[in-house]
Structure formats: C-alpha cells, structure tokens
Amino acid sequence: MRLDSRAAAVLTAVGVAGFATCAGEPSTPVPDPDPPHAIVKGGDGGTGGYQAVGGWWKPAADHDETWTWGEVSGVAVDTPDRIIVAVWGDRSADGTERDGSSNYLVVVDRDGNVVENWSQWDSTFNKPHQVYISPYDPERHVWVVERGGGRGVHMQVMKFTNDGSELVMRLGEPDHPTTREEARANPNPGPYTYGEPAVLAFLPDGSFLLGDGYWNTRIVKYDAGGEYLMEWGEAGSGPGQFDLVHGLAVDDEHRVYVADRRNDRIQVFTEDGDFIEEWPAITDPVGVFIDDRHAVWVISASLHRVLKYTRDGELQHSWGAYGGPGGVSGGLFRPHQIDVDQEGNVYVASWSGGWLNKFVPRPDADPSELIGRGLVLER
C-alpha cells in the first residue's frame, strides 16, 4: 500500500514525538474520572452515624415492678452532665397513671442517673409536652409547655430558674376550651387562651414563638417579657393553615419552619408570618431542629426516624429504627423531641416508649450524618 507524502509526514511526526516521550520525562497521567473507593459492606443505617448507649435510661427511685415512667415527651440539654427530661408522670404496664405521680420533670447525668426531681412542682404538671433552654439566655432558664387536661392543671407556658427553685413566668388562662370542637369553633382566641399548646422557638432578642398547637392551630409571638406581639395561622390544609402545629425552628435568615403534623408537611414562613413554601409528603412530622451546619432535621414519629433536609427541602439522609414491642435494641418509639449536647451526643425522647435514648457519635462516622449543635443566631 502506498501512502501519500502528507500522511507519511504525520505518521513520522507522531512516531518521533512518541519516542521523545518514552526517552524523556514521563507524560502526565490522565485522572480517572471515576476513581475506585472503599466499599463498606453490610449495615442497615438504623442508628446512622451513632451508637446507641444500651441500658442508659434507668428507673426512678420510686419505681418498682408495677410502676415505671409515663410517656417521655421532652428533653433539653444544659450540659453533658445535666439533661432535663419532661415525663407524663408514672404509669403501669397497661397505661394506668399512678395516684400521686411525682416524676414529671427530672434531671439526669451523663450516665442516665436521676440526680434531680422537681417534685416541688408536681401540682403544676400533668402533661409537660416539651422542655427548652433558650440559647440566648445567659441565666439558662428552663421553659416547659404544659398541655394540661387533668389533675386540675391548665394549659400554660412556664419559665423556671435553671435550678427549678422559682417559677418566674407563667402564661395561660385557666378558662380555656376543654375540647377540640370548642376551640375550633372560636377562630379568634385571646393571646393567652390556649388550645393544647405544643412547642416553642426562641429569637436572639429574647422574643419567642409558641405553637398553639393541637386545637388552636396558630403561632403566637411574644416579647421577652411574655407580652403578646402578633400571631398567624388558622385551621385547614392550605398555605398558612395548620392541623396541629408540633414543631418550630428558626434559621439564620429568620425563616420559621413549622411542623404541620396532621397535614404531613413542613411549612416555611418569614418571621412576620408570610408564607414562603411548603415541603409536602413528610410523614407525621413532630419536631424541627436546625443545627449549626444549617441542616434541617425533622422528627417523624410514625416512621420512628430522624430526617435530614437542606434548607431548600431536599432530603439528604435519615436514621432511626422501630424500638417498640418486638423492635430493635436502641430503636426509637414515636420520637418526640431531640437535643444535642456540647460533646455531640444526641438525646431523643421516645414518647410511646417511656424512655430517653442517648446516642454517641461513632469514631468513623461520616460528619454529614451527624446532627450538629443547635443553631444560634447572631444578635
């Protein structure tokens, strides 16, 4: 076969260049567009990047073969050695409440031992729904949202000194509705006439938001002294409407995230209550926790899981497993509130289980699968 002169010249040039490359400096390797990576086999993601601490939650001093914890509804971390827990008193195995229950608000240490029992406030509690410490409060007062409903206790929001020695603020009217139907029949309740209040969120100036809640389906904003500022929301399933407000959180742009539980969604608003968007198809959301990495963590009670979203509503990760009767050790049973301590340990109140779970980060955990400390906004 005969090559024309131009083709021969090209081949000769290529050959010379190739010889020069072999004889001189090595050529730069082309990066592998899809480099190999270590394959992690097995696992089911039940506890995500955490290890559950077995046997951590312990009986109270007065528990016995008949009486144990009622529903564990709330948790707030003061320090890794002081975790405040809200409980619905004492129950038997069949759910009967003990007369004279006294374990409504307790404090446990890092090993789960009860080190304080706020029994001096027993007559004030019946269904302490959630408990909080505002990150903007240097005195670290303890806030409790009480649903009322029995034992002569009415629906209210209470603020205690950190050691529980003094009740410094109480919001709520004793003359409140006694049924959901009665509450829903009044679309304009007073600023302190609650309908089973549920949750709180705090702002840097000391003001706070109340999710009120089961019956009234509204969000109420108060100043630092508990004076009424504004509210928004009504019963329904449209934008800005709610059917059980059960979670609140505020991001670094002061957008308010609302767990609209029975509508199976998260709604996002401005700080003044203007609707921004909704995140649909989130099963039974009962809590929202925004961490210092700006991840939005949502608690799903029915899924027994914690779900991680971006601030744009994109699901990134989830963990948790059913831990009720017949479930797995270290699992969750209708989780209700979470908090994270200064060491990165996560505490989850398992409402139906009657226990508080403690999860410790695995040494080899992917940081993106861990919950950061709660977001603190600039003042």
So what's the pLDDT on residue 360?
98
State phi, psi for 374 to the nearest 5 degrees: -60, 140
pLDDT tens digits, 29-76: 666 666 666 777 888 889 999 999 999 999 999 999 999 999 999 999
Q: Report whether 144 contacts 161 (CB < 8 A).
A: no
Average pLDDT over residues 121-129: 96
Which residues are bridge partners to 218 per DSSP? 212
So what's the pLDDT on residue 30?
63
DSSP 203-248: -TTS-EEEEE-SSS-EEEEE-TTS-EEEEE-EESSSTTEES-EEEE
Indicate the DSSP class of residue 332. B
Average pLDDT over residues 124-136: 97
18-32, 44-58, 110-124, 197-211: segment of lowest average pLDDT = 18-32
Residue 11 has pLDDT above 50, yes or no: no
Length of the chain, please? 379
Average pLDDT over residues 295-306: 98
304: nearest Cα among 8, 28, 15, 52: 52
* 100: confidence class by pLDDT, cuts 50, 70, 90: confident
So what's the pLDDT on residue 62?
94
* 150: confidence class by pLDDT, cuts 50, 70, 90: confident
So what's the pLDDT on residue 1?
44
- pLDDT averaged over every residue in the chain: 91
**Structural domains in the chain?**
52-369 (2.120.10.30)
Q: Does the pTM of the predicted model rise above 0.95?
A: no
Instruction: Look at residue 372 and give its three-state secondary structure.
Output: coil
State phi, psi for 184 to the nearest 5 degrees: -65, -20
Average pLDDT over residues 125-145: 98
Average pLDDT over residues 156-183: 96
Tell me the C-alpha to C-alpha distance, in Å, between residue 300 and each of 217, 232, 259, 264.
19, 24, 10, 9
Average pLDDT over residues 278-307: 98
Residue 232 has pLDDT above 70, yes or no: yes
Which residues are bridge partners to 292 per DSSP? none
Question: Which residue would you say has higher pLDDT here, 149 or 206?
Answer: 206
pLDDT tens digits, 319-352: 999 999 999 999 999 999 999 999 999 999 999 9
Question: Which residue would you say has higher pLDDT here, 187 or 370?
Answer: 370
Average pLDDT over residues 254-274: 98
Residue 163 makes CB contacts below 8 A (sequence gap 6+) with none
Give the count of beta carbons closer than 10 Å to the beta carbon of residue 81: 13
* 23: confidence class by pLDDT, cuts 50, 70, 90: very low
Question: Which residue would you say has higher pLDDT here, 291 or 42?
Answer: 291
So what's the pLDDT on residue 28?
61
